[in-house]
Chains A and B, each alone.
Chain A
Amino acid sequence: MRFITRLKTIEEAKKLNQFGIDIFCLDTDFTAKKISKFSLKEIEELQNEYPNQIYLLINKMIHEDDLEKLTKFLKSIKLLNISGIVIADLTVYVLAKKLDLEHLIIYQPGTMNTDTYSEKYFSDRKIKGITISREITLEEIKEFGKNSIELSLIGHGYLDMFYSKRKLVTNYLIHKQITGIDLKNNYNLRLNEEIRENEYYPIFEDDFGTHIFRSKKLISFNEMNIFKELIKDFFIERIFLTDEELINSIQLYKNQITMSEFLQKYPDYDAGFYYKRTEKVKGELDES
């Protein structure tokens, strides 16, 4: 299993590598929920220094106006020998295929990869991998792995649960005539729902819209024995984490600190949907 996280700066790469990060995922002009941004020159430098250890993240929804720019970008990176392109919109696969780059594509739409038929579909199309969706159970995850395609999972950190093209925070501030709050790269915004007193959902706005995240961070330490057999790429999502929490997270999975030590320091973690089945219809669950 390879451990992957996003890189904030070129300088931190060496340290993260030493702690056990195998692959660096780099934000691009086409990255939503950016924590950084790397130019082509920087991507090339990192690729040269860390060959076979670079993925690129292209996770915005691709609109008609993006097609030409994105095609140009894909042509540029074709020369760089990067190891993977993580995508959320299947459009990127379509464009990459035209450039014979589909073998680099890792399809990570967040939702949608909820069934093993999707695994077969993309295996047949010879892409590098798919990331299993964020809302399925451990039992469902165990059914994957019967096709020749790499499986990945975002197994740690704040997972997003909502992506709107609307600038919801900007619009609200305009509506309320509130000034003086800088939204650019503001990772400190939280939502609290009316009747869920102690739940705070991170909300982040960027050029591509608004993103809302789970209130609790996902942790997968107890499931690693299963994942080790099944999952090729284990993503640690570091948005909203301090650098120290990221390092401690890596140390956890590398067995350098214990689960109890980790949770004592960082209590706001849970097992997400691994043991929580969702209802298909309005049932006995209390929505109030």
Chain B
Amino acid sequence: MRVELLAPAGNLEKAKIALLYGADAVYVGGLSFSLRARASNFSLEMLEELVEFAHNLNKKVHVTTNIVVHDEDMSGLDEYLKELDRIQVDAIICSSLAIIERAKLLTNLEIHLSTQFSVTNSSLANYFYSEGVKRIVPARELSLQEIQNLKYNTSADLEIFIHGGMCVSYSGRCTLSNYMVGRDANRGGCAHSCRWLYDLYNKDKKISDNHDFQMSSKDLEIIEYLPKLLDIGVTSLKIEGRMKSIHYIATVVLAYRMLIDDYYNKELKPLSFYKKEIKKAENRLTSFGFMEGDTTIKQQLYNYRSEMPTQEFIGIVKNYDPVKKLAEIEQRNYFKKGDLIEIVSPKKIFKKSKVDILYDEDMNEILVARHPLQKLYINMDFDVKPYDLIRRL
């Protein structure tokens, strides 16, 4: 059975982009019961639309219901779970025993256990499997060898994080944010206190310099380990980042889609090819996390500024007129006449072009595109489709 590529989406547009660019499934949060409270979460109507969109493509939608509930959060839970069941979402991702038990009692929803529960071994995975949880998202602290052993020893499906941000703590076990700023890390309010700057003292002696003690980890990127993970036979490869841009989602998803397809077709290119594609949108330093076991300084972020420039996403194709050879696009970032651009399509096609003609929505010729979401027309000598993305080279 082929592995599932599972992508995050903070809104409907991102979800559709992820599915079109090669994700087999997306995970999204509803308006309630989901972490990442600041991600643009989905109303039931939006979820329903997304489920229909995904199912028409023979793809899936997983809904995160992964907060650690307090009693006050239980209000409306039963009705919400029943609605998710009615609109036929494909799975819910939970960390709270209360939500798992209510879903089992009231619905036929497939239940996945969130990494928030930090499952680190097969005994616990098997326990939850016997309790009706079909899939486990293990702790991100597992090494490749541990994942292999876990897979060997459990009947549960495994969903493995392969790309994106990582908690520094075991997930679900941190209350730094609760204590330091009164925001509940396990109910969507995490203030990322683990990424702040600290001084370290030993007794009364300061060891650090100018608050340079940092706990931040580099983001996860384990392309080198993907062939092995595919050999192991995990069920799903998961990308993190419900708050990321559509350019990021499309680029990262497409790169992993190419890698997975090439693997199964026995046409794997040098891994540097896929890494290079990812870097067109990934602007954070990355490392392989716990894949080799305990982390070292190579997995830590010690530089205050770690973000690197990426290729700039300038617009999304809305339509194409093959007679006039004009593409209607929606502007997302500043660009100008004369810029060299690259068009990326879900069909894994990358084509280069140059902006020789630039019109505003009233077909007045302009020199620069400055306004986000503005409807524009640019020349395009080849066929482009809605949802193709345009980057400035």
Interface residues of A (CB under 8 A from B): 61-67, 89-91, 94-95, 109-112, 114-118, 121, 134-136, 140, 143, 161-169, 171-176, 178, 181, 186, 188-194, 196, 200, 203, 210, 212, 214, 273, 276-283, 285-287
Q: Which A residues are CB-close (under 8 A) to B69?
A: 114-115, 117
- Asked whether any CB of chain A lies closer than 8 Å to the CB of B98, the reply is yes
A282 & B189 in contact (Cβ 8 Å cutoff): yes
Q: Which A residues are CB-close (under 8 A) to B37?
A: 280-282
Nearest residue, chain B, Cβ from A172: B213
A94 & B124 in contact (Cβ 8 Å cutoff): yes
Q: Which A residues are CB-close (under 8 A) to B184?
A: 135, 278-280
Nearest residue, chain A, Cβ from B190: A282
Bitwise interface map of B from 145 to 165 toward A, beta carbon under 8 Å scored 1, else 0? 010011001000000000000
Nearest residue, chain A, Cβ from B209: A176
Q: Which A residues are CB-close (under 8 A) to B207?
A: 173, 176, 178, 181
A-facing residues in B52-86 (Cβ within 8 Å): 67-74
How far apart are the CA atoms of A191 and B98 in the complex, in Å?
35
- Beyond A90-B124, A94-B124, A116-B71, is A191–B198 a contact (Cβ under 8 Å)? yes
Bitwise interface map of B from 182 to 195 toward A, beta carbon under 8 Å scored 1, else 0? 11101111010110
Q: Which of A143, A173, A212 contacts B71 (CB 8 A)?
A: A143
Q: Which A residues are CB-close (under 8 A) to B141?
A: 61, 63, 165
How far apart are the CA atoms of A280 and B73 in the complex, in Å?
10
Nearest residue, chain B, Cβ from A277: B182
Q: Which of B254-262, B291-299, B316-324, B360-368 contacts A (4 or more CB under 8 A)?
A: B291-299
A164 & B169 in contact (Cβ 8 Å cutoff): yes
Q: Which A residues are CB-close (under 8 A) to B198?
A: 191-194
Beyond A64-B121, A135-B178, 10 extra complex contacts between A and B, CB < 8 Å: A63-B146, A64-B149, A66-B121, A111-B172, A140-B70, A161-B174, A171-B296, A178-B207, A191-B213, A280-B188
List 10 A-B pairs, minimum CB-CB distance, nearest first.
A117-B98, A281-B37, A278-B184, A161-B175, A280-B187, A91-B124, A165-B141, A190-B201, A191-B198, A94-B127
Give me 25 A-to-B residue pairs in the complex whose CB atoms sit less than 8 angstroms apart, sorted by A's number: A61-B118, A61-B120, A61-B170, A62-B124, A63-B120, A64-B149, A65-B146, A94-B123, A94-B124, A94-B126, A94-B127, A115-B74, A162-B176, A163-B173, A165-B294, A166-B168, A166-B295, A168-B300, A171-B296, A186-B202, A189-B201, A191-B199, A191-B200, A279-B184, A279-B189
CB distance from A159 to the nearest CB of B (A): 9
How far apart are the CA atoms of A210 and B118 in the complex, in Å?
16
Interface SS majority for chain A: loop
Interface residues of B (CB under 8 A from A): 37-38, 67-74, 96-98, 101, 117-118, 120-124, 126-127, 139, 141-142, 146, 149-150, 153, 168-170, 172-176, 178-184, 186-189, 191, 193-194, 196-203, 207-209, 211-215, 217, 290, 294-297, 299-300, 302
A114 & B70 in contact (Cβ 8 Å cutoff): yes
A136 & B70 in contact (Cβ 8 Å cutoff): yes
Nearest residue, chain B, Cβ from A188: B203
How far apart are the CA atoms of A191 and B214 in the complex, in Å?
10
Q: Which B residues are CB-close (under 8 A) to A190?
A: 200-201
Nearest residue, chain A, Cβ from B77: A117
Nearest residue, chain B, Cβ from A144: B71
CB distance from B195 to the nearest CB of A (A): 11
